[in-house]
Structure 1
Amino acid sequence: MQNFLGPDFLLDTAAARHLYHDVAEDLPIVDYHNHLVPAEIAQDRKWDNIGAIWLEGDHYKWRAMRWAGIDERRVTGDASFREKFDAFAQIMPHCVGNPLFHWTHLELQRYFGIRELLTPASADRIWDMSAEMLAEDSHSARGLLRKMKVEFVGTTDMPCDSLEHHKAIAEDDSINDMVVAPSFRPDPAFKIDLPGFPAFLQSLAAVSGARVETYEALMAALIGRLDHFVAHGCQATDHGIEILRFAPPVDHATLDRILAKRLADEDLSELEIAQFQSTMLVDLSRAYHSRNLVMQLHIGAIRNNNPRLFESIGADVGGDSIADRPIAAPLNGLLGAMDRDGHLPRTVLYCLDPTKNEVIVSTAGNFQDGSMPGKIQAGSGWWFNDQLDGMERQMTQLSQMGLISTFIGMLTDSRSFLSFPRHDYFRRLVCRTVGRWAEGGHVPNERALLDGLVTRVCYQNAADWFLKERG
């Protein structure tokens, strides 16, 4: 156990050890995209036990538990959190090689000071030790964020959300050491082909106080909600795009006909769907640019693939995977349409398919405009790729085809308040990569050069994007 996740975990050169321990280790965290629940921060939630905080909503763990043969009752069912925790302890020895094995033990170390392996034999001790600490203020929602020096939390919020909890956080002087900002996610507005589209329009009409029956009215209501988000500190937007379509933007008369067909429950053609989505995304990008908001595009997931699981439990429960649709032509077309009159905002591109890393990086290079370093980002390894190989592949391609020095780095994309050691995981990998370059003679082993690079990638670039006053 002395070497497992020890102080020099992943740091296999003297240069890497210097870069991590002297530069990266104590940097604050800017977590600009996650799925934490704002109410839990506003109310400074405490958890009764580690089973609740670990297993209440983490589909990474649920997926592994099913794979290891755990029945659904002890995964998402009506079993107690103690039963679910024991089941997770049961599978942990079988997770060797999966990043969950590292993440789990990093979380035990960083938050609870527990260096013992999680196994059925250690489950009682770890349950009791962690429960004692979870009862303390140091392990409330805010305490856990402070423990990892989190300066910025970018939550994910839907257009009709009231943002009442963000308002409460902003007005609470006891949390002025970190920024908690909503991120605008208008997926239900542009996914005209999905079953929930008419219901979303009704909700949007109710919250905006206006009828939403034309494209112009729809956009006016959306922009009204966007301004509500900006008034509550929004600095970023996010878009989950399973099927990336592109068609040249069309006029409002065409869009009104498409919208009328959809509301009459008539089938839309692929071209009509593409025209509606593309025009709306281009129009939204103009609004984002004028408000100096970051636009994030999450591309390449195929969701809810197990019908029985989806019908019995719902979405986001571990039934999603990597899609393999082509993205190069539609992505370049979409960004080109946004950029045509100079209104392409700062943008982060993520793709769940790691074979598209080169496509993402080379596309990002097409739309840099000299207005700022790295205006279009090839985003960090996402979801199935936020492990060592996935992050290393992403950074290698970014280094070789772009500029890693402008990279805004890691994010958790997580629903768990215990997930922030993933930033430590990423930082160690950055230091290992740069350290190997230095000791292999690929780059000069000069402290000022390499210290500055690691600081920018691990913290400063993201801080410049999300913590500086918006101009």
Structure 2
Amino acid sequence: MTLLNNDFLLNTDIAKRLFHEYAENQPIVDYHCHLEPKEIYENKNYDNISQIWINEGLYGDHYKWRLERDHGVPEELITGDGDDYDKFVAWAKTIDDSLGSPLYEWSHLELRRFFGINKRLDASTAPEIWKETNQQLQTPAFTPRALIARSNVQVVVTTDSPESDLKYHELLAKENLAFKVLPGMRPDDAFNINDDGYHDYMLKLGEAAHAQINSFKALSDAMGQRVTFFAEHGGKIADLGLNSFYYAPASADELETIFTKGMNNESLTAGEINKYTTALVEVMMKLAQEHDWVLQYHVNVARSQNKPMFDKIGANTGFDSVGTQADLTEQIRRLFYDAQAKQILPKTIFYSLNPNDWMAIATLLGNFQEGTVQKMHLGAGWWFNDTRDGMEKQMKLYANVGMFPNFLGMLTDSRSFLSYPRHEYFRRVLCEVIGQWVANGQAPDDLDYLGRIVKRISYENARDYFGFFDE
């Protein structure tokens, strides 16, 4: 079989027909990504393939960076200031040795879908592919907006801090675009009460909210103001990157004492941090419920595990790994139980980086379904799990313990405008899974019936669940 031929990943006739007739041309709702709205607004062409594919400063694809470190590529050719051509050649050599990695398939898929290049990327083809891609990158078809539109994307939800003025979202809303660019709130810094910069961050957040944040109550009110501001700009999602979580309720007086200690940069115990975190999560739950937002949780991550590299180039540079919090589900159970009693449990999507959590989390979420079709969702295979194996495992688990046709489908979680073929990859895996069920006699050989389900998971469920087009 030819590499990435028209039917790659599809091994049954029904899978092939499901993909080509129902999934392939569905629009994309990218409800969580790390694209920069500023780049979309400025709409500048990239100078070369290394800048859009590998890195531009410390902004780039962590998946590639990790693989290159595995291959022994020096850091100057990964995140450093090495020559861009040398970086591309180093990536070509890396990808040629990465058989079995999803990056091997994704990289070649991106070359085919965007550049029409069907050659295998390796050291021998790197010079001609470098020249050909760079020529195309200077054309109007390769601006950020054009790449999004060419990918049939209807909605892009970016990741934005609560204090953001959403300037570029406002500017983009005035443009006649073929897609929406909406803000997604990610209040990580508001949770970092034990960081040295917490006091300064509260000043910044207060300035954005036109408030003096001098108490936990004032912080809660400020977050409410920011959620309202985001909602006025089309925001419908908040995202909590909790890494780990320990449920710890606290009284109002306790929270004010903890907040004051944080503002004064005093030492906090783990118990105090857990109480603050729990209370702020419940603030976000209440606000999401009030605004009919979706609250996403990304948990069980061990971040910035290489301290020398963290000190040198900072966080979010490819030195993270799967977390191992053993009692995570019990802690989340207690949180949801309390929130349900307080009637502040919003629509929820829950992702754990550790797949060992998925069964427990999925069955926990099933305890809180109410009031809408599939209010609570186990998120798609995330980060290290958005491989073929990870996607299949997540889909089959979802089907085993829930209602698979309600699944919300794929998101890119990406920093690259060339990442949208990952949706195609996901849809191929989806159709193959269903095709195998048909081959096993587990599902009917009914193309129209199965095709409707494929269209729902590929596009329609996300469109309807988030209400991006509700007026």
Q: Structures share a fold, TM > 0.5?
A: yes
Secondary structure of 1:239's aligned partner:
strand
Deviates more, 1:331-340 or 1:189-198: 189-198
Give 1:52's aligned residue. 51
Partner of 1:120: 123
Q: Deviations over 1:11-47 (max 9, x none)?
A: 1001101100111011111110000000011111211
Q: Hey, what does 1:289 align to over in structure 2?
A: 289
User: What letter corresponds to residue 78 of structure 2 in structure 1?
Assistant: V
Alpha-carbon distance in 2 for matches of 1:459, 1:386: 18
Aligned equivalents of 2:289 and 2:210: distance in 1? 26
Structure 1: distance between partners of 2:115 and 2:87: 20
Secondary structure of the residue aligned to 1:287 is helix
Residue 196 of structure 1: how far off its partner (Å): 3.2
- 1:467 deviates by 4.6
* 1:235 partner amino acid: K
Cα 1:143/1:231, change in 2 over 3 Å: same
> Superposition RMSD on alpha carbons, in Å?
1.3
Residues in 1 aligned to 2:237 and 2:470: alpha-carbon distance in whole angstroms:
11
> Contact 1:31 / 1:154 at 8 angstroms: preserved in 2?
yes
Stretch moving more, 207-216 or 344-353: 207-216
| 1:154 alignment partner in structure 2 | 157
Matches within 5 A, 1:331-370: 331-369=332-370
| Alignment match, 2:169 | 166
Asked if structure 1 preserves the Cα contact closer than 8 Å seen for 2:293 and 2:466, the reply is no
In 2, distance between residues paired with 1:280 and 1:61?
34
| 8 Å CA contact 1:32, 1:152 repeated in 2 | yes
Whole-angstrom CA distance in 2 between matches of 1:258 and 1:231 = 32
Partners of 1:91 and 1:10 lie apart in 2 by 23
Q: What amino acid sits opposite 1:54 in the alignment?
A: W
Instruction: Compute the TM-score of the two structures, normalised by the length of structure 1.
Output: 0.97
Partner in structure 2 of residue 229 of structure 1: 230
Q: Distance in 2 between matches of 1:375 and 1:101?
A: 36
Residues 1:239 and 2:240 are matched in the alignment: yes
Match of 1:320 in 2: 320
Deviation at 1:344, TM superposition (A): 1.3
Q: Is 1:190 paired with 2:178?
A: no
Q: 1:152, 1:467 within 8 Å by CA — same for their partners in 2?
A: no
> For structure 2, which runs of at least 5 residues remain unmatched after alignment?
none
Residue ranges of structure 1 left out of the alignment (5+ in a row): none
Q: Which residue of 2 aligns with 1:414?
A: 414
Deviation at 1:469, TM superposition (A): 4.1
CA offsets, 1:284-334, max 9 Å, x none? 211111111111000011100001111111111110000110211111111
Stretch deviating more after TM superposition (293-302 or 326-335): 326-335
SS in 2 for 1:295: strand
Deviation at 1:465, TM superposition (A): 2.1
What residue is the counterpart of 2:26 in the other structure?
27
Aligned-partner Cα distance in 2 for 1:222–1:100: 38
Query: What whole-Å deviation, never above 9, does each CA across 1:159-197 have from its counterpart, x for those lacking one?
Result: 111110000000112x1x211100011111123233332
Aligned to 1:210: 211
TM-score normalised over the length of structure 2: 0.97
Query: Does the 8 Å CA contact 1:288/1:294 hold for their aligned counterparts?
Result: yes
User: 2 CA distance for matches of 1:339 and 1:469?
Assistant: 28
Q: Tell me, yes or no, if the aligned pair for 1:292 and 1:470 is still in contact at 8 Å.
A: no
Contact 2:194 2:265 in 1 (8 A): no
**Quick one: distance in 2 between partners of 1:439 and 1:232?**
47
One-letter code of the match for 1:85? Answer: F
- Contact 1:300–1:353 (Cα < 8 Å) also in 2: yes
Contact 1:159–1:185 (8 Å) recurs in 2? yes
Residues 282 and 337 in structure 1, CA contact (< 8 A), matched pair in contact too? no
* Change over 3 Å in CA distance of 1:24–1:469 after alignment to 2: closer
2:376 partner letter: I
Counterpart of 1:166 in structure 2: which amino acid? H
Q: Deviations over 1:192-239 (max 9, x none)?
A: 233332221121122223221111111111211111111111111101
Amino acid corresponding to residue 239 of structure 1 in structure 2: L
1:3 counterpart SS class: coil
Structure 1 residues 39-82: Cα deviation after superposition (integer angstroms, max 9, x where no partner) = 01111121111111001111111111111011111111111211
Aligned to 2:330: 329
- Distance, in Å, in 2 between the alignment partners of 1:61 and 1:283 is 37
The percent identity for this pair of structures is 37
What amino acid does structure 2 have at the position aligned with 1:164?
K
Q: Residue 14 of structure 1 aligns with which residue?
A: 13
